[in-house]
Structure 1
Amino acid sequence: MKAYKSYLFDLDGTIYHGNKAISSAIQFLNQLELKNIPYGFVTNNSTQTPDQVAKKLTNLGVKVEARQVVTSSIATAAYVRKHYRDVSVFVIGEVGLQEAFSQYRQDSIRPNLVVVGLDRKITHDKMSVAARCIVNGATFIATNPDRMITQENGLVCGNGAIAQAIAYAANTEPVVIGKPSAEILHTAVNQLGFNALETVFVGDNYETDILAGIRAKMDTIHVQTGVTVSCQSFDEQPTYSIPSLINWSLL
């Protein structure tokens, strides 16, 4: 085990399952707090604001501020600020994404960018407008590629399903910001002032969390508390794989 100066965590499957905390993770976060080791959270969820995510974590017993939370909406807005100036946008998404792009000029006719996040009230008209704008030259950006996500009533379609439907219609693949893209981790490291070489990313899902860490050239801890139970069959391995965070010691 290595002594890291800062930690980044995935949420669902790593810190909690739905609305139920993973006790070993909460205990570990409390240890980090006691030792003054900084930490932050990275989520592909584009529907919620950092304030909403922080409130949920607080209710589960985590000491956290909104600035410690990087959603795929926040990372997408950071990507746009970095690469584009003076652009108009057409946004599909819920409050987390709408708030992140509230300062941009909205345009449903000829926007410079089409930004797509999960919208649980998606309509044929919204998808048609997005595809039409992309065909007319708008750059297509998706907050994240999640095929399905877990809700209280079971698995439901994620943003990847919406983005791929629009991509098929427009015959254009999107720029993807969320995990497994490294972009969201770069945003988190920059926002929190961490050194990527001294930071470890903790997650449960190999295909999103661990791959994002590998692509960002960061050390990774795979916890066997969520989607991926074993990483042995994959060519690229996490730096560590442990049953849960109770098995990780702070040196």
Structure 2
Amino acid sequence: MKNNKYEGYLIDLDGTVYRGPKTIQTGVNFVHRLQEKDIEYLFLTNNTTRTREMVVDKLKRHGIDTDVDHIYTPVLATISYLLEENPDLDKIPVYIIGQVGLKEGMLSDEHFYLDETHPKYVIVGMDTDLTYHKIRIACRAIRNGATFIGTNQDMNLPSGDELLPGNGSQCAMITAATGVKPIFIGKPSSIIINYALELMKLDKSRALIVGDNYDTDIMAGINCHMDTLLTLTGVSTVAQIENKQTKPTYTVENLDKWLV
């Protein structure tokens, strides 16, 4: 399948380029073709547990040489969103639940500082060391008026032969305790897509979202009225999308089938 209308690609990682420690060679080949033809691309992941430097290193192990400027995460989108919401604030107090990617990413920006007592925002990302104490602080702050931000709403994360509780599950627990639903930043929210396109300086009609998960990657495109390409190398199957009201613009067995 060949299509020359797209000037830029927003590319998912897990299930598209790799699956955990395993390389998806067809996804790697696809990225190499984009690089060879000097076509704009941005890796768009919901994962906030890694820094961008860590993502670059992981991609290198799978055979892709790139740099941090080609990695876009909900951390960057959250920073842009909060700065846009607070143009008159030099310093913004936040409470963060999450791992190194989220914490280092947020706090490396001089506009944000940690405040467990009176945060303006509670930002929740995937945290495999989640504790009752962290949830208690988050719930108290939200009840006191802090805005609840979730980096993504993935309820489960595939890991080998099992599904692990995802950030959406963590956020659901906080919602159950407070009655407050979060503003989600990552896919399938249009927030992360709009900021990514702004970074690429591309109109959405000239960009294509590529991924393996209908509920995150494809729905992100649908929510933004963008074209989408589903690769059947990860989560979603043909059977699962048959009854979906809105189908992906394109579906391929793997990304070797997509010519640029």
TM-score range, shorter chain: over 0.9
Report the equivalent of 2:203: 195
Deviates further, 7-16 or 184-193: 184-193
User: Deviation at 1:148?
Assistant: 1.2
Work out whether 1:159 is the aligned partner of 2:167.
yes
Amino acid at match of 1:97: L
Output the aligned Cα RMSD: 1.3
TM-score (norm 1): 0.96
| d(CA) in 1 for partners of 2:162, 2:46 | 18
SS at match of 1:101: helix
SS at match of 1:29: helix
Report the equivalent of 2:131: 123
**CA contact 1:147–1:159 (8 Å) conserved in 2:** yes
| d(CA) in 2 for partners of 1:17, 1:187 | 26
Work out whether 1:217 is the aligned partner of 2:218.
no
Work out whether 1:226 is the aligned partner of 2:227.
no
| d(CA) in 1 for partners of 2:220, 2:124 | 20
| d(CA) in 2 for partners of 1:61, 1:184 | 26
Amino acid at match of 1:112: K
User: Deviation at 1:194?
Assistant: 2.8
| d(CA) in 1 for partners of 2:117, 2:222 | 39
Amino acid at match of 2:34: L
User: Deviation at 1:67?
Assistant: 1.1
- What stretches of structure 2 of length at least 5 have no aligned partner? none
| d(CA) in 1 for partners of 2:21, 2:188 | 24
1:49-97 per-position Cα deviation (integer Å, ceiling 9, x unaligned): 1111111111211121111111122221221112123421111111111
User: Deviation at 1:155?
Assistant: 2.1
Percent identity of the aligned residues? Answer: 38
Amino acid at match of 2:255: L
Report the equivalent of 1:146: 154
Report the equivalent of 1:99: 104
Report the equivalent of 2:27: 25
Amino acid at match of 1:170: T
**CA contact 1:68–1:192 (8 Å) conserved in 2:** no
Q: 1:74 aligns with which of 73, 76, 81?
A: 76
Aligned length, in residue pairs: 250
User: Deviation at 1:42?
Assistant: 0.6
1:15-46 per-position Cα deviation (integer Å, ceiling 9, x unaligned): 11111111111111111111111111111101
- Runs of 4+ aligned residues of structure 1 deviating over 6 Å after TM superposition are none
1:103-156 per-position Cα deviation (integer Å, ceiling 9, x unaligned): 312111111111111111111011001001000000000000111112357321
Report the equivalent of 1:180: 188
- What stretches of structure 1 of length at least 5 have no aligned partner? none
**CA contact 1:113–1:141 (8 Å) conserved in 2:** yes
Report the equivalent of 1:53: 55
User: Deviation at 1:180?
Assistant: 1.0
| d(CA) in 2 for partners of 1:179, 1:223 | 16
Report the equivalent of 1:248: 258
Report the equivalent of 1:39: 41
| d(CA) in 1 for partners of 2:224, 2:176 | 28
| d(CA) in 2 for partners of 1:35, 1:224 | 24
